[in-house]
Amino acid sequence: MPHGSILAHVPYNRGMAIDREQVIAALRTVQDPELYKDIVTLNLVKEVVVDCDAVRITLELASAVGQQQIERSVRAALDKINAGNVQLNITARPPSARPGGGQSPAAGPAAPGQGARSVLPQVRTIIAVGAGKGGVGKSTVAVNLAVALQRTGARVGLMDGDIYGPSLPTMLAIKGQAPRVRGNKMLPFQVHGLHVVTIGALVEEDKPLIWRGPMAHGAFKQLLLDNTEWPDLDYLVVDLPPGTGDVPLTLCQLLSITGAVVVATPQQVALDDAIRAVRMFQQLGAPVLGMIENMSYFIDESGREHDIFGRGGTERVAGQLGMPYLGAIPMFTELRVNSDTGRPHANFEGNPKLKDSLEAVATRLAEEVARQNAQAKGPTLTIS
Q: What is the pLDDT of residues 204-231, one digit of tens each?
A: 565 555 445 456 656 777 778 878 889 9
pLDDT at 19 over 80: yes
Q: What is residue 347's DSSP assignment?
A: G
For residue 325, which of 280, 292, 285, 352 has the smallest C-alpha distance?
Answer: 292
Percent residues over pLDDT 90 in the chain: 34
Sign of the CA dihedral with 16 first, then 19, 20, and 21 last: negative
Residue type, position 217, single letter: H
3-state helix, strand and coil shares in percent for the chain, rounded to the nearest 5: 35, 25, 40
- The predicted model scores a pTM of 0.69
154-201 residue pLDDT tens: 899 998 877 666 788 899 999 888 888 888 888 999 999 999 998 776
Q: What is the 3-state secondary structure (H, E, C) of 132-163?
A: CCCCCCHHHHHHHHHHHHHHCCCCEEEEECCC
pLDDT at 110 over 90: no
Q: What is residue 351's DSSP assignment?
A: -
Largest CA distance in the chain: 78
290-341 residue pLDDT tens: 999 999 888 887 778 888 888 888 999 999 999 999 999 999 989 999 999 9
Band (203; pLDDT cuts 50, 70, 90): low
Provide the pLDDT for residue 348: 95
Alpha carbon of 67 to those of 62, 300, 348: distances in Å? 10, 46, 46
pLDDT at 104 over 70: no
Sign of the CA dihedral with 220 first, then 216, 63, and 48 last: negative
Cross-strand partners of 324: none
Q: What is the mean pLDDT of residues 76-93?
A: 84
Provide the pLDDT for residue 318: 93
Cα(373)–Cα(310) distance, rounded to whole angstroms?
34
Long-range pairs of 276-280 with CB within 8 A, sequence gap ≥ 24: 276/34, 276/35, 276/132, 276/244, 277/130, 277/131, 277/132, 277/243, 277/244, 278/321, 278/323, 279/34, 279/35, 279/62, 279/63, 279/65, 280/35, 280/42, 280/130, 280/244, 280/248
8, containing H or E segment: strand 4-10
Q: Comparing 69-73, 90-94, 258-262, which segment has the lowest mean pLDDT?
A: 90-94
